[in-house]
Structure 1
């Protein structure tokens, strides 16, 4: 994580507070269409927290874009239901591939719905609309001369559904101690396979891919993954086998005009991003304005194979590929064999929906693997949601300190504007108070910058720092000790509460993409109406600038108790494993 001191706004000691509206408007940009997508999840087993993390990243970006009023947006997700792994998993479960996929796809849809992922499209690769799109796409590749029939042999990795060159292999031993080859990246065992396939002329796209990446330095984010793809383009780039013998793999989409071949599962799966847009008829209204959120393990498929296939089919590459790293559990990679696969449904039940959403987006750093353990979830959520944010709301709206339950008035005499950047001596506000107001005023732009850079965790760090500053402001002035019978003291008391509630309103607005239910409760308590919860025209502390505040004097919403109930650590570690 970036050190907290690095996230203070780059300002002089007493930067005059800015209006939040200008920051939000500057970040919004022109309205346009955009497709955000998760990967489609492989339907050979139930969802785990890695799947949920991909979906939550995409969901937060989608929700944030909606708050900005940035134009029509779609969020697609779904399940990848073809390929040898599905065929093998169905056989092992004593069922058919369609029955297995029906059950697993339903699990994913349910988990994403329970996690409040606001998807607009859920695609299954077994659907007729997808099959039609894939076969049309194949026809475009064929007609453009990008395919040829050839004999292929090499090391095949079934879990990864691809052939691997020798440079990506290592020597190992199998469960019986016999020598074998494994994938360097995943550790999965590979097997020598020879068959007649259709081949895609991937090797001819080295220079077009390199030009695409050089001309679009932000096409792959974070930058370290952009560099990794450029490095791959310097290595061996063999033509890609894009079909399998149907006698070996009947579960998949047949090659048009050749009943002996099944379309390679990755070609099939990648076309889902076009299927949801109505390819080949209506996709042009959206494509290539697409941002794919993917895990680093499928980067090569999305950053090399997919753009090359699109170019061969006469389409532009996607606008952006947003890459994240993996979650480990107590320092170990999640795996069925270790029995440490984390069940997201159990986590949401134990830590609450918003609690677990917050943890994954707060602690997940796309550039590097992040570690999950229960104690960390409890510590982060209790400290930042229950204590810092919830405690501040509860204290500043308590009847004992605000008996009229209204949004109090702001006094310019108590909190006068800065005089050429220097705090005035005729008010009650201190230098630290002006620093707080400057920090919160700059917060919408900081959050916008972090979201644009695919660093949602940094956005939450910025918000957390401001929440702590606001708690310091409230504690420093101890409004509960002020004498309400003294008019000047009452003015200062009201001003302290007004500033605090204004800070909370900004926090609640900005937290909506991450913790939608908690943010709704916070904003409802502050009597912020639904139409007042967007970033369009967002203002902070308008009375400081001599402008009217629409909330001043408004009756607060009803109290519903604690904003966020503190979590307790489970003695049974009930989220530790998942039955597969």
Structure 2
């Protein structure tokens, strides 16, 4: 049996005949924490979602970004690593100005209404953000103005004439090579963005320009640290930097766009909406007072459609201002509906609020995190959601918890005593296999979460849950008689191993499904201080020694962990 020795920081082999199976997550998370501290000092890690544009209500893609960031933030906390999570809303720009005008509202009133929708849906989903930044807030305006002045003072901003393509839908300036001619639905020739497919228009105006072209070497140097994940998106950024990298227009004339932050030295211009929006990450860090809250290690979660802004413009802005570029960019793909891109005209947009009503908040969280894969577009269907949730949460996990805590099986409602000698020799191999899988599980989950592959981490947990179900079923403790000493000892041992397994699963599931995991831990009677990965020990079942959680009383029964979702016409 291989075990991690925290004293020597190495794996040691213990003969299986001694039968020692101890999962020491404290050593793993402790070494992770030390590595993190060595790499980034004592500053808390900042995880961020994009700030979401308020020209439309929250959709599934927004929720997915927030959930992926939330998992990273919660997992860090479970390992004892100090971190923060920032989200918010992007409230300036032409699209917002036009959307507010169409509803006969002033822009600020319109922004406040939609921003509240985002905040409410994130609260409903238990997104554990520590800051919610609105770009219309005074603190953000101060940060943007100070950042602009820093770029200006360092010689990276100059006044010039921008002539080229502009996409209002994306709020993006585009080169000729980033556009193409297409035929619209009415047979007219139009030019569109190759990345988004949205129509572009030719503009020519005197703006302030940012010396982006001069920063290619610095950006290439930053890319050597492989900050963009998954790998296909890193290769895409390298490809972009092989192309022309012209200077970037970073202002719009106020006569054309009034809804924005004025250029500090020239009120006839407003600051480009993407420069304004990206600075929100600094706002969350306390900028410009970085002595109180230094700009430190940061991990940005984002959709692939805004990769260029985060992988080229944002690190360039930071480097130009004398600040560190992002530590990591974790990029995810899009969600489709029934195999088709979501569109209001097709009436196939999936409403997150409706999904919470159908599946509960933890059900929606689990489905998106388990079914989604960052490197590819994923398809949402109510059929697959219902099938997956019934199979993995209601039947496998919930069923196992219900069975080993049922009064008929566990009348004392506790973690019973473990007896190694109670297992017949024919059952030793199966027991060893179950315990070996459980021993490896924390490291596997840690690996996949760190690699931004949360769906793989959940897949590993589900596989172990199913092995535990098979073990429980094959040992059939309900058939063992309490009055027969050997059978009673085996019965207790099977229940102990199963309960301890569930304690491990519920602990590891907390970042993904915090509500459901908490319910499971409460049913298992796990104290709050033991719901962490730092300093916690699982499945300590050593021959001749008392078991770590032995004798712990279960918590009260409060109904099914996750009731099955029945088929209905609406689904």
Number of the residue aligned with 2:555: 557
2:540 to 539, 542, 559: 542
Decide whether aligned partners of structure 1 residues 481 and 516 sit closer, same or farther in structure 2, where only a CA change above 3 A counts: same
Contact (CA 8 Å) 1:168, 1:184: kept in 2 or not? yes
Residue 109 in structure 1 maps to residue 128 in structure 2: no
Distance 1:439 1:184 in 2: 47
Number of the residue aligned with 2:490: 492
1:354-365 equivalences under 5 Å are 354-365=362-373
Deviation of 1:279 after TM superposition, in Å, equals 0.7
1:85-96 equivalences under 5 Å are 85-96=95-106
1:365 alignment partner, SS class? coil
- After TM superposition, the structure 1 stretch with the greater mean CA deviation from structure 2, 173-182 or 304-313, is 173-182
Contact (CA 8 Å) 1:18, 1:442: kept in 2 or not? no
Deviation of 1:543 after TM superposition, in Å, equals 2.5
Contact (CA 8 Å) 2:500, 2:539: kept in 1 or not? yes
Deviations 1:329-359 (A, max 9, x none): 1111122332222111110111111000000
Number of the residue aligned with 2:258: 250
Calculate the TM-score normalised by the size of structure 2. Answer: 0.93
Distance 2:526 2:337 in 1: 40
1:394-405 equivalences under 5 Å are 394-405=402-413
1:48 to 59, 65, 68: 59
1:543 alignment partner, SS class? coil
2:385 alignment partner, SS class? helix
1:153 alignment partner, SS class? strand
Number of the residue aligned with 2:337: 329
Deviations 1:472-525 (A, max 9, x none): 000111111111110110000000000000100000000001111111111111
Number of the residue aligned with 2:89: 79
Decide whether aligned partners of structure 1 residues 469 and 172 sit closer, same or farther in structure 2, where only a CA change above 3 A counts: same
Decide whether aligned partners of structure 1 residues 286 and 487 sit closer, same or farther in structure 2, where only a CA change above 3 A counts: farther
Distance 1:513 1:104 in 2: 27
Calculate the TM-score normalised by the size of structure 1. Answer: 0.92
Decide whether aligned partners of structure 1 residues 184 and 226 sit closer, same or farther in structure 2, where only a CA change above 3 A counts: same
Decide whether aligned partners of structure 1 residues 273 and 402 sit closer, same or farther in structure 2, where only a CA change above 3 A counts: same
Distance 1:239 1:481 in 2: 76
Deviation of 1:125 after TM superposition, in Å, equals 0.1
Decide whether aligned partners of structure 1 residues 545 and 537 sit closer, same or farther in structure 2, where only a CA change above 3 A counts: farther
Distance 2:427 2:30 in 1: 29
Distance 2:279 2:291 in 1: 12
Number of the residue aligned with 1:367: 375
Distance 1:386 1:28 in 2: 34
Distance 1:12 1:179 in 2: 73
Contact (CA 8 Å) 1:288, 1:317: kept in 2 or not? no
Contact (CA 8 Å) 1:24, 1:538: kept in 2 or not? no
Contact (CA 8 Å) 2:287, 2:293: kept in 1 or not? no
Number of the residue aligned with 2:8: none
Q: Give the unaligned 5+ runs of structure 1.
A: 1-10, 416-425, 574-580
Supply the RMSD in Å over aligned alpha carbons: 1.8
Distance 1:48 1:549 in 2: 47
1:50-65 equivalences under 5 Å are 50-65=61-76
2:508 to 493, 501, 510: 510
Number of the residue aligned with 1:198: 208
Deviation of 1:414 after TM superposition, in Å, equals 2.3
1:567 alignment partner, SS class? coil
Number of the residue aligned with 2:7: none
1:206 alignment partner, SS class? helix
Deviation of 1:283 after TM superposition, in Å, equals 6.2
Number of the residue aligned with 1:8: none
Deviations 1:180-221 (A, max 9, x none): 11111211111111111101111111111001111x12x111
Contact (CA 8 Å) 2:338, 2:379: kept in 1 or not? yes
Decide whether aligned partners of structure 1 residues 171 and 265 sit closer, same or farther in structure 2, where only a CA change above 3 A counts: same
2:190 alignment partner, SS class? strand
Distance 2:14 2:338 in 1: 42
Contact (CA 8 Å) 1:13, 1:435: kept in 2 or not? no
Q: Give the unaligned 5+ runs of structure 2.
A: 1-12
